[in-house]
Structures are given as structure tokens and as C-alpha cells.
Amino acid sequence: MGAEMPEVVFDLSGKKVFVAGHNGMVGSAIVRRLADIDCELITVARDTVDLRRQSEVEEWFGSEKPNAVFLAAARVGGILANDTCPADFLYENLMIEANIIHAAFRAGTSKLLFLGSSCIYPKHAPQPIAEEALLTGPLEPTNEWYAVAKIAGIKLCQAYRKQHGCDFISAMPTNLYGPGDNYDLNSSHVVPALIRKAHEAKLSNARSMTIWGTGEPRREFLHVDDCADALVFLTENYSDANHVNVGSGKDLPIRDLARLVADIVGFAGTIEHDLGRPDGTPRKLMSGGRLAAMGWQPQISLEEGLARTYQDFLARAGEA
């Protein structure tokens, strides 16, 4: 990136840095990335501070006073979990982000990065989706609850910047995958679901594995370690009210993703479809122009990232 790197606007070195959601896939990737930086990392266990409880969050921020916050704590899940638990996704995410953003303001936190999702954009947004597409049309119904909560998070950061001058920024990652993902088939995203399905089909010598929907929707995927790198980059180099897309710039149909995962796992059977399951949004390829113009780009190809993720799956299952 060298010569194109913007001037550092916030140096994480020497700072007290709170990663909210450090046990999650994204939070743990941020923790791994911060190990390269000479900062003081702080985290808090869920049974010590429930981030949905305002008084607990404010008390903890009041005593810890972090200089910087990565807001990666969230209730997350795949298309089915989003569709079946709308109250959980809306309520928990609103509470977590409102509590942390307000507490960070009160504690004098200098920099906060809020993590959203590409599902904030309208279902039929022009592709690739530029940041300006926000709030220009109706949302995808399967995840509108989560999307509304994440849009509220962007607006909270903008509001605290506008009213109080807080340097709070927002990043919108595309569909993420990588180590530490959730492999529960009812609540997971598509990549861990496909890894597990292909692995189990291989072990049982099945003739086929079944994926949800038509396989026609297209998705853009980014390895979570690339995402964490982008989030640290933005925290140090970006300060503006506008949110920033974080993606790989490439998408593919779910059908092709399923074949790719099956090949990486070593399952040679056919792929069947459960058409009783939802497809969700037809396509959500984001424009990465804003981040690319700052000099950041991803390093991990989908093939390499999926192979690494399968190794992590095997290691966690004790099969590596």
C-alpha cells in the first residue's frame, strides 16, 4: 500500500482498545489483528457485563475508559435465523449498539468503529452497491429487522459526531467467513453450512448434499482476517460521518459456491436444492471504491480462504 497510504489520523499504538464481541468470529479476528499493534487490548466476558443492559455497560465504561472501541458485538445469524427471530435481531442489536455508543461518548472514548452489514441496502439496489444507496428503497424482508438495527447504528455514530463531535465511524462488511464461525445448520450463514454439509456427505458416502433455495442468488464473500485488517486500517486512517463498504469486489452464485466448497472438502456427489427454503436478496455485491481509494485491498482469495476455513473446521472438530 506504501505511497498511497493516507496520513494516520488515529494511531492505535499505546491506546487502551476495547473489542466488544471478542468471542465472535469478527471480534476474535480483530483481536488477532491487534496483536501486531502495541496497544492495550481489553475485553469483557458476557457474564460480567451484559451489553444489552445500559447500567452495566455505562458502569464498565466509566471505570475502564477505553480510548478506542471496535463495536463487533451483535446478535448475528444466517437467513433462517434472521427470518424466524426478528424480535431478537432487532431488540438485541439496538440495545447493544445504543448502550456502547452512548457509554463511549460519556467515557470520552476518542475513536469508535461500528460494524454493520451489507444487508442495510435496499433489496433491489443497483449493483455494485455504493454507500449512497442507503435508505433509497425497501429492504430484503428476511433480514429487515437486523438491517434496521444496523442502520440505526450508523445513524447513532453520525448523530454523536454531529452533536458532540465524536470520532465515531461505521464500516459495512459483506458476507464474512473464516475461523470461529457458527456451524449450527439452523442459525449459520451459508459458508459454514456448506462446509459442514459437504464434510458430513463425504464421511457418509452420500450421493448428494442439499442446499437451500435455487442456488441462483449471488453473494460476495470476504475472509474475516481481511475484514479485521480493513477495520484496523479504517480506525487509524478514516474519520468521516459516511459509512464505508468492506468487501472483496467479487461475487458468485450460491450454486457455484456450493460446488467450490464440495471440491475443497473432497465431496464429489451431486448438489440438490430444498426449494422450501428462502433465497433472500438476489444479489448484494458492494462497491469497494471508497476503501480502495484509501489504499486498502483484500489479500485472501476465496479458494484459499475456504481451504483455510475447512482446516479450522477440522481442527475444532478434532479431525485435523
Hey, which residues are catalytic here?
146
Residue 250, amino acid = K
- CB closer to ligand GFB, 68 vs 271: 271
CB of 162 to ligand GFB, least distance (A): 26
- Give the orientation angle of helix 86-107 with respect to helix 144-164, to 10 degrees: 20
3-class DSSP assignment, residue 244? strand
Kind and range of the H or E element at 24?
Answer: none
- CB closer to ligand GFB, 188 vs 245: 188
**Of residues 283, 272, 236, 242, the one with CA closest to residue 33:** 236
CB of 209 to ligand GFB, least distance (A): 9
Q: State the SS3 of 227-293.
A: HHHHHHHHHHHCCCCCCEEECCCCEEEHHHHHHHHHHHHCCCCEEEEECCCCCCCCECCECCHHHHH
Peptide bond into 253 cis (omega under 30): no
**Of residues 157, 179, 160, the one with CA closest to residue 170:** 157
CB of 119 to ligand GFB, least distance (A): 3
CB of 311 to ligand GFB, least distance (A): 20
CB–CB of 57/100 below 8 Å?
Answer: yes
- CB closer to ligand GFB, 109 vs 117: 117
- CB closer to ligand GFB, 103 vs 193: 193
Q: Which residues bind ligand GFB (CB under 6 A)?
A: 78-79, 82, 117, 119, 142-143, 146, 175, 188-190, 193, 211-213, 217, 219, 254, 277-280
CB of 72 to ligand GFB, least distance (A): 14
- CB closer to ligand GFB, 34 vs 73: 73
CB–CB of 320/311 below 8 Å?
Answer: yes
| Residue whose entry in the numeric block shows the C-alpha cell 482498545 | 17
CB of 91 to ligand GFB, least distance (A): 15
| 142's grid cell | 428476511
- CB closer to ligand GFB, 112 vs 193: 193
Q: Report DSSP state, residue 286.
A: B
Gyration radius of the chain's alpha carbons: 19
Greatest Cα-to-Cα distance within the chain, rounded to the nearest angstrom: 61
Looking at beta carbons, which residue is closest to ligand GFB? 78
